[in-house]
Amino acid sequence: MHKINIPGTTITLEVHDKEIEVKNEIEYDIELTFRNEAAGASLDIEGNIFEPLFVMDVTAKPKEPIEFYSSSGARAGKQKVTELQKFFEFVEDNKQNLFDLCGFRGELE
């Protein structure tokens, strides 16, 4: 298992084989997966093998509905969104490294 702390956040990635578990303290359900766009390797006209094509899927959903009743509540919500932004920037900048760390074989879109 590899554990990666996202700098400046309470978000941690735990890589187990080909799965990434996202843990956080900002009360969001966050999922990060690599989806295979093809059933497997395929052949071109000349018989050369194409590697499978993968796409990184990332979703973040609040665990509870979000409602604000004051500026302090909005400020706390803004801090959570700031952490999410840092998380998305990190995984976008490091998606090839994460793909390789998971041990996938193929091309990453």
| Rounded distance between C-alpha atoms, residue 40 and residue 27, angstroms | 36
Residue of higher predicted confidence among 43 and 76: 76
Identify the three-state secondary structure at position 7: coil
pLDDT at 27: 93
Evaluate if residue 42 carries a pLDDT over 90: no
Q: What is the pTM of this model?
A: 0.86
pLDDT at 91: 97
E-strand ranges in the chain read 2-5, 12-16, 19-23, 28-36, 42-43, 49-50, 53-62, 107-108
pLDDT single digits (tens) 45-74: 676 677 788 999 999 999 999 999 999 999
